[in-house]
Structure 1
Amino acid sequence: MTDYSELKRLADRVISDRRFCGDENHKALADGVMALIAEIEFLTESRQEAREERNKIGDRHDALEAERDQLKAENDALRKAVLEAREFIMHEAEVRGLLDENNEVSFRHPRRQAAIAVIDAAMGKGEQS
């Protein structure tokens, strides 16, 4: 960061010391210099605060990405388990002769039929409207 202390000192001297310069234009310029220095300092501080906020957002983004990846992994594991359960139910129904003419679990076995329907709905295989 630039040190404006010498410039501030000179501008303050122009503003406050009549012996330095009595010209109103010089005083107006000195006031302008002081205002610009104040604006630069404000903007520098604001930029630093913005950088800190950006870093916090970046950290939160990284945490959310990690959480998302974890949830995806858990979802994939659950999806695999559900598909394996469906496969098991269908295989058992086939072995026991519980399938109808469409190779679906017969309506005479409502619990198995309901389990397959729930799995298919959860997996997006149910009827689409």
Structure 2
Amino acid sequence: MLASNWLLDFSYLPDVRILGDRAPLVSTKKDGHSSDYGSYLDAQGDADIFFPTDFWLLEKIDHYCSGWLKLQKDKSCKLGKKRRTIILDTSSFMEEFGLPSKTRTKDGYNPLLEDFKNTKFYLSVPTHNTK
């Protein structure tokens, strides 16, 4: 049986001090103040390490593991199931599947739509066809 996959994660991290593609953010919070490190080696075991997710790479891996991409490259492979994948930023997901009218504050601010600009939802389900 193929599973449905749902994932919510960071798509990018602001103000990362470590160089490199998809570099992590290494951060700690003490006495209510956050501080970021320039290296995971500086953290001394007392920090959170956040990595951004490459959602398009995740989609390719998901489709490959389901057998769908193998089928496209190797015609002798056993038929795989297609997957239906949607990648949405958090505000789009909340507009589609949430109740934004119920989460708006008195001054009109809506945290479900206006916060978490650096996060995305990944939704992937198997389909019933193999074409």
Q: Higher Cα Rg: structure 1 or 2?
A: 1
Higher helix share: 1
- Where relative contact order (Cα < 8 A, 6+ residues apart) is larger, the structure is 2
Q: What TM-score results when the alignment is normalised by the length of structure 2? A: 0.21
Higher strand share: 2
